[in-house]
Amino acid sequence: MNKLYIGNVSAEASEEDLESVFEQWKIPHSGPFLVKSGYAFVDCPDEKAAMRAIDVLSGKVELHGKLLEVEHSVPKRQRSCKLQIRNIPPHMQWEVSANGLLTASRARAMEKLNGYMMDNYPLKVSYIPDETAAPEGPGVGGRRGFNARGPPRSGSPGLGARPKVQSDIPLRVLVPTQFVGAIIGKEGATIRNITKQTHSKIDIHRKENAGAAEKPITIHSTPEGCSKACTTIMEIMQKEALDTKFTEEIPLKILAHNNFVGRLIGKEGRNLKKIEQDTGTKITISPLQDLTLYNPERTITVKGCIEACSRAEEEVMKKVREAYESDMAAMNLQSNLIPGLNLNALGLFPSGTPGMGPSMSNFPPSGQGQPESETVHLFIPALAVGAIIGKQGQHIKQLSHFAGASIKIAPAEGMDAKQRMVIIVGPPEAQFKAQCRIFGKLKEENFFGPKEEVKLEAHIKVPSFAAGRVIGKGGKTVNELQNLTCAEVVVPRDQTPDENDQVIVKISGHFFACQLAQRKIQEILAQVRRQQQQQLKPQPGGQPPMPRRK
């Protein structure tokens, strides 16, 4: 973009006056000056000449008693509804809507505000370009008045090589709102340079949380690209803080999904302590109480010099990515094996991550009614009860809220009981999330050895007349269940049905084995219920049949 806009031009100024100014400062221009009322346009031969004109003339050179304002010209179609107002006194907000200042047109706002002195600070006003707007003039290869046929192909002339963004979990950071303008830069130049240099895609969520003191930024790239972009953003904020005499410390704030934070912290905080020691930083993590249904992210605050914070970001995100990849691998391995489970409803992964839809934990699968609630009794080591409950019951409350299930721990059956029963009530997705977290918590708290797989016993109740269907003829069904799921499935003989005419099925194994077995058994029970409903339907011209006795 080599066309310049010259603002704050005196009514007495002529084309010859502007030419003499450019000649005086030895700034080349490739065309005549187009002088309007209060402003003018001129073309420069290249970007270097345009930038020299901006640096040398803007706010520094007078013409007929008025300081000229020089900047890149933004085509009308690419002008947004807002103006960017910079060099505002540091005690005031960095960005003000043009509509809030004047009811006049944007061009008049540009003319009136550029160079306006506010507490000894001359304001600098420019358009915020709309990157999504179509460029003026006919598209390449298209006839005049018609759009080009379809979007340009990658590798087309003039399009530029788009960086290949790795399909990886993005880096999300929080930045103070007053620095967003500096990160974007004049007409978006700074943010474009960052994306070009780091081969990344950067989204600045400026419209989220209107009036908030901080805004989230999402960086999509390779791990190296994310780290480089993050470092550059920190350097920009540091420079802007010095320019605006902002004296408060600016820590690096990383956003991470709550599901990954436990593994980042590690047993007794060992992982986090090691990162602090290796990088010379101080790291804190926002409390669980700050989580909401719509905000499952925790804020990881890193304090230190820019270089130290950059190293800490690399180590923190390395742990987060490892947790993410581990979960994705486990989910991909089991996703086709667990029937009756809506994986998108689990909400186990951040919204927008590859291969996973947005969290839909409050909604049943489309086309189905509300999923039926189930009750599972999960047996854990008695010594682990405190870890599951947490300080003042905080962990079990958070777990219940996260999973969308009722979770209670039954009283001990005796003084020397080695196991305690956790009663989990909720639909399949809630069961999956609650049990997954309990298995994980026992591993994190070292109730099982480092190379030992966490195996627990779960009990589910089935109608006594359906127990035979779970066992199958000659134990065929239960044997197939065990072979398929790698879980031990037992229907104890000679059970006395309870007051609801139900008996217990015992399932033992690692997490996915238990889940698969539970889902398969629930599938068998659903088939039994469907057959019962069909048998109870009245047949035309006859009496309804009596239900079969098993």
Residue 510's identity, in one-letter code, is: H
CATH number at residue 478: 3.30.310.210
Residues 62 and 89 in one domain: no
Q: How far is the C-alpha of 316 from the C-alpha of 227, rounded, in Å? A: 11
Q: How far is the C-alpha of 238 from the C-alpha of 243, rounded, in Å? A: 9
CATH number at residue 54: 3.30.70.330
- Considering the domain boundaries, does residue 18 fall inside one? yes
Residues 320 and 385 in one domain: no
What Å distances lie between residue 32 and 14, 18, 44, 58, 274, CA to CA?
Answer: 12, 10, 10, 19, 64
Give the model's confidence band at 227: pLDDT under 50 very low, under 70 low, under 90 confident, else very high. Answer: very high
- Considering the domain boundaries, does residue 344 fall inside one? no
- Considering the domain boundaries, does residue 498 fall inside one? yes
- Considering the domain boundaries, does residue 201 fall inside one? yes
Q: How far is the C-alpha of 81 from the C-alpha of 207, rounded, in Å? A: 14
Give pLDDT, residue 411.
92
Tokens of 402: 């996260």
**Does position 542 have pLDDT exceeding 70, yes or no?**
no
**Does position 302 have pLDDT exceeding 90, yes or no?**
yes
Higher pLDDT, 232 or 292: 232
Residues 37 and 91 in one domain: no
Residues 43 and 117 in one domain: no
Residues 181 and 281 in one domain: yes
Residues 53 and 93 in one domain: no
User: 21-25: long-range contacts at Cβ-Cβ below 8 A with a sequence spacing of 24 or more?
Assistant: 21/57, 21/61, 21/63, 21/68, 22/53, 25/56, 25/57, 25/61
Q: How far is the C-alpha of 357 from the C-alpha of 352, rounded, in Å? A: 6
The pLDDT tens digits of the residues spanning 101-139 come to: 333 345 556 556 666 776 666 676 665 554 444 444 444
**Does position 87 have pLDDT exceeding 90, yes or no?**
no
Residues 440 and 398 in one domain: yes
Give the model's confidence band at 145: pLDDT under 50 very low, under 70 low, under 90 confident, else very high. Answer: very low
- Considering the domain boundaries, does residue 250 fall inside one? yes
Q: Compute the mean pLDDT over every residue in the chain, rounded to the nearest whole number.
A: 78
Secondary structure letter of residue 188 according to DSSP: G
Lowest mean pLDDT of 330-334, 366-370, 395-399, 458-462, name the range.
Answer: 366-370
Q: How far is the C-alpha of 213 from the C-alpha of 518, rounded, in Å? A: 47
The domain tally of the chain equals: 4
Q: Helix axis angle, 428-444 relative to 394-403, nearest 10°? A: 140
Residues 381 and 239 in one domain: no
pTM of this prediction?
0.42
How many Cβ atoms are within 10 Å of 111's Cβ, its own excluded?
Answer: 19
Residues 295 and 242 in one domain: yes
Residues 385 and 528 in one domain: yes
- Considering the domain boundaries, does residue 92 fall inside one? yes
Cα-to-chain-centroid distance, residue 61: 47
Helix spans in 344-449 (H): 385-389, 394-403, 428-444
How many Å is the Cα radius of gyration of the chain? 33
- Considering the domain boundaries, does residue 497 fall inside one? yes
Per the CB < 8 A criterion, the answer to whether 208 and 180 are in contact is no
Phi and psi at 351, nearest 5°, equal -60, 135
Helix spans in 244-305 (H): 258-265, 270-279
Residues 66 and 183 in one domain: no
- Considering the domain boundaries, does residue 356 fall inside one? no
H/E stretch holding 460 reads strand 456-463
Per the CB < 8 A criterion, the answer to whether 418 and 382 are in contact is yes
H/E stretch holding 254 reads strand 252-257
* Structural domain harbouring 45: 2-72
Residues 42 and 121 in one domain: no
Tokens of 145: 């008045």
